[in-house]
Amino acid sequence: MRLAYWSTVLGLGWILLAGCDGGQREDVLVVYSAGPRPVAEDIVAAFSRETEADVELFAATTGQVMARLEAERYRPRADVVIFASRVAAEALKQDQRLLRYPEPSWLSETEADWHDPEHYYFATSAALVGMAFRESVYDEDADWGRFLSPDPGLRMTMPSPSRSGAAGDLVVSLVLDRGDAIWPELLDARGAGLDFAAANSQAISTTLVGAFDGILGAVDYLIFSQIADGAPLVVHYPPSGSALVERPIAILASTPNEELSRRFVDYYFCREAQERVAAAHLLPARPDVAVSDIRGSRELPELLERDIEAALKQQTRILRRFQLEVERAEIVR
């Protein structure tokens, strides 16, 4: 598959790490998590206190997590993985690398549509991917078409889809929604000044210092976190649709710690853990857990249509083309 994309764009660094780490240990639960790091750290620590289990956490970007899993394919270390993309989880499922968890006791208390119907992965939370602007330039009517044009009027940045799973999901969704006609529009946007940040944090920091007016592919919970700290930013959901990005948790089929892995998955859906998720401004999987005051509502805006099967089949082609033809395009200004 599809995991080859992540190892290609990130190089061989994780292969060296995998060679030094050794294999799985039955006395340690190994968790890989694609951010947010503070939430993962808090939940791992709380689970470890409650169960007295030793837990090793590797928290990184989606690209780094996926590349490490691919590098360790034949000598796996992780027991549980938390993804920032449903497409990434589906890829491992189709590669027969996930363990089915048939009927968790908490299933009926969560957003059923967010989970794999065959129960190989379950969304712990979700975020929306749209736009963010500095308050001074915010336009409440802004839509994708404006920024896929030769004259957007604002200078925008975007997290690199090769590093950010959410940005990657957005690019795939936009291409599937608009068809091949979007490619010259993307080049127009690049020529008009669209720049790419290494990850979400860099996109936010450069916008805050005034280098850019806003962010395309902004992950809303990250912007809400900045707003909570007083940043003059506005989250914006384009009228034609934003991308809903679930954050699934899954057990690897290779785990020697099946029972402890299931207990960890169960813990992620308990009220205490879900409240930690909500406090990070994510949408918790449990509807009975209130969202943060900054987010304010569980109501979803207009969403881009999504076909997981189509996204999975075309993700590698779309993201490679985007990287080569758009992100790395040489622009003369």
Q: Which helix (H) or strand (E) holds 50?
A: helix 37-51
Phi, psi of 230 (to 5 degrees): 100, 5
d(CA 320, CA 327): 10
Place of tokens 């506005």: 234
d(CA 55, CA 142): 45
The domain ranges of the chain are 4-126+246-284, 127-243+302-327
d(CA 169, CA 52): 37
Q: Which residues contact 109 (CB under 8 A, 6 or more apart)?
A: 269, 286, 288
Taking every pair of C-alpha atoms in the chain, what is the biggest distance, in angstroms? 59
Please return the burial class of 302, using the count of CB atoms within 10 Å of its CB with bins 0-12, 13-18 and 19+: exposed
**How many CB atoms lie under 10 A from the CB of residue 112?**
12
Residues 122-138, buried b or exposed e (16+ Cβ, 10 A)?
bbbbbbbbbbbbbeeeb
* Packed helices 165-178 and 86-94: angle between N→C axes, nearest 10 degrees: 90
**How many CB atoms lie under 10 A from the CB of residue 38?**
13
What per-residue confidence (pLDDT) applies to 166? 83
* Packed helices 165-178 and 182-191: angle between N→C axes, nearest 10 degrees: 130
CATH fold, domain 4-126+246-284, is: D-Maltodextrin-Binding Protein; domain 2 (3.40.190)
Which sign, positive or negative, has the C-alpha torsion 291, 218, 44, 267? positive
Assign 120 to helix, strand or coil: coil
Please return the burial class of 169, using the count of CB atoms within 10 Å of its CB with bins 0-12, 13-18 and 19+: buried
4-126+246-284 and 127-243+302-327 in the same fold: yes
Question: CA torsion angle for 54, 60, 62, 64 (degrees, to 10)?
Answer: -100
Q: Which residues contact 201 (CB under 8 A, 6 or more apart)?
A: 222
Query: According to the CATH classification, is domain 127-243+302-327 in 1.20.1740.10?
Result: no
Assign 269 to helix, strand or coil: coil
How, if at all, do strands 243-252 and 80-82 pair?
antiparallel
Residues of the chain with pLDDT under 50: 1-21
What per-residue confidence (pLDDT) applies to 324? 93
What per-residue confidence (pLDDT) applies to 6? 38
Strand partners, 159: 197
